Amino acid sequence: MVYELAQQDERIVFIGSDLGAGVLEDFKREMPDRFFMEGIGEANMVGMAAGLALSGKIVYCHTIATFLTRRAFEQVAIDVGLHRANVRLIGAGGGAVYAPLGPTHLATDDIALMRTIPGMTILAPCDAVEMEALMPQTVEHQGPIYIRLGRGGDPVISNLTRRPIGSFGVWYRGEGPLFVTTGTTAQIGLEVATRVGGSMMYMPTVKPINAAGLMSGASFTKHVVSIEDHSIIGGLGSAVAEVLAESGYTGTFKRIGYPDVFPHGYGTQDEMRARYGLTAEAIVAAVKGSHVGVS
């Protein structure tokens, strides 16, 4: 999508780190003056992106999510955030995608970090089809954006209907709890909601969160559950909790995600999720055994 958008708009520049060799060969060959591969220098990459953006470019940066958000946090905050630069930070492998490489590569705090930066928009598409629908909207959007990628090849559950940045969707409606999800946990949330007779609200924009939309769904139930491939601290669950608390919601609320730990061990994303209870089966059991009102 970055390549296709760059073909249409001469302002678009791509800066990569140590990923994607070969993926954008057409971009590199056809637009070499707008293609940069910085190597393993994430802080420098973000600084370059900010400078180019302040010179009128729209810059797309891509590297592993932990290094883009955690290692280069000061540059993202000061160079990009403070100047409201039109930089689009594409974080590869949000959540436990890089479980084969261990805890140093698990992006389970990236949303939390990006939420603290004033003016940062956070997008977490659920699949490749939704990514295709969202990406064109990032061109004219004013200010920085963090785009959280999954592993690729995730089951497609969306369609190409254009969902504006900041909007939400209710993909399943039942009489039980409201399950609120983002990114690739939408697939899990949809299965859980259908199995327990609840509703599933999907929020591809984590920040700014659509508070009115969230409360429109919460008003029909006494139980709300957030599901995310992220720590329960600072991510979607925290954003939902803030809205519910400030809106005077009187029902119950439960966060499902990684606990307050560095997720340990090696394996696949699915194995890491299973270890920490982020599967449909585990979530159904968790809500049935709690105060969430599922029998």
On whether residue 6 sits in a domain, the answer given is yes
Q: How far apart, in Å, are the Cα atoms of 277 and each of 188, 206, 281?
A: 11, 22, 8
Please answer whether residues 231 and 258 qualify as being in contact, where contact means their C-beta atoms are separated by less than 8 angstroms.
Answer: yes
Q: Which domain covers residue 67, as residue numbers?
A: 2-148
Name the residue among 237, 243, 241, 273 with its Cα closest to residue 255: 237
Where a domain ends, among 115, 148, 181? 148
Considering the domain architecture, whether residues 144 and 173 belong to the same structural domain is answered as: no
Percent pLDDT > 90 in the chain is 81
CA–CA dist 121, 64 (Å, integer):
18
Considering the domain architecture, whether residues 126 and 245 belong to the same structural domain is answered as: no
CA–CA dist 260, 240 (Å, integer):
18
| pLDDT tens per residue, range 258-291 | 999 999 889 999 999 999 999 999 999 998 877 6
For residue 205, what is the domain's CATH number?
A: 3.40.50.920
State residue 214's pLDDT score.
95
The helix (run of H) or strand (run of E) holding residue 179 is strand 178-181
CA–CA dist 54, 38 (Å, integer):
19
Other Cβ atoms less than 10 A from the Cβ of 25: the count is: 12
Considering the domain architecture, whether residues 102 and 183 belong to the same structural domain is answered as: no
| pLDDT tens per residue, range 141-192 | 999 999 999 888 888 888 767 779 998 887 778 889 999 999 999 999 999 9
Q: Which of 54-58, 255-259, 289-293 has the lowest mean pLDDT?
A: 289-293
CA–CA dist 108, 95 (Å, integer):
5
Single pTM value for the model: 0.95
Token pair of 271, please? 């194995």
Considering the domain architecture, whether residues 137 and 176 belong to the same structural domain is answered as: no
**Is the model's pLDDT at 215 over the cut of 60?**
yes
Token pair of 287, please? 């809500």
Please answer whether residues 176 and 199 qualify as being in contact, where contact means their C-beta atoms are separated by less than 8 angstroms.
Answer: yes
CA–CA dist 78, 76 (Å, integer):
6
